[in-house]
Amino acid sequence: MSTISPETARQLAEQHSEHGVSYIGSPVVGRPDRAAAGKLFILLAGEHDPKERVLPMLECIGERIFDFGESPWNSNVAKLALNFNIVAAIECMAESFTFAKKNGIRREQMAELLSETVFGCVVYKGYGPHVAHHDYEPAGFRLKLGWKDLRLALQTAQESATPMPIGSFLRDRMLSAMAKGRGDMDWSAIALGATEDAGLSAKT
């Protein structure tokens, strides 16, 4: 259920198979509050019969299960791709809010506009207020864990010859945040980078 590299999942699947044990990938999507409420999204992959055996357990903690076929590592590819989209959305919000702020519009107004209109989704509704108010503690998902996930995504992209130019930018953004001691803040704290680049501070 961890967010690991697809290559690690392949190795684990092979090692389990050598001992006659089924291996299933089932990383989850959702912050601690969703986990506590049994509302996680579960990305499932593996052989059919083992998946059927674990479904009752997964249904206890998940709101919805997405099946990515019989190769267990496919679930890890999907999770890394999803997390890439989340951190990219956080960066887009950060730049948009900063642009608005420097041109006379409050960050909170932009957060409301985006989340209540064409970007009315979980990520914008969930992270928008945090980015608007620069509210990154306590962490729902620590930045250093997000950094790990992005590195795994870029490693997999390199192994599969998949250019990810936005991912390369996000790598530097997250590395900068880590260098500034923000690793234990929420990963949405990368938004501080856009604010600082514009000559502003989190208090202005």
Active site residues: 79
> Which tokens hold the place of 28?
């989850």
CA-to-CA distance for 44 and 49, rounded, in angstroms? 13
- How far are the Cα atoms of 2, 35, 63, 196 from residue 16, in angstroms, in the given order? 16, 28, 28, 48
Give the strand order in the sheet containing 40-44: 28-29, 40-44, 62-67
- What is the full DSSP assignment across 26-46? --EE--HHHHHTT-EEEEEBS
CA-to-CA distance for 26 and 2, rounded, in angstroms? 8
> Which tokens hold the place of 5?
């590299």
Residue 145 is inside which H or E element, if any?
helix 143-159
CA-to-CA distance for 90 and 188, rounded, in angstroms? 6
* Distant-in-sequence, close-in-space partners of 71: CB < 8 Å, separation ≥ 6: 45, 46
Note the Cα 130 to chain centre separation in Å: 15
In this structure, are strands 28-29 and 40-44 parallel, antiparallel, or unpaired?
Answer: antiparallel
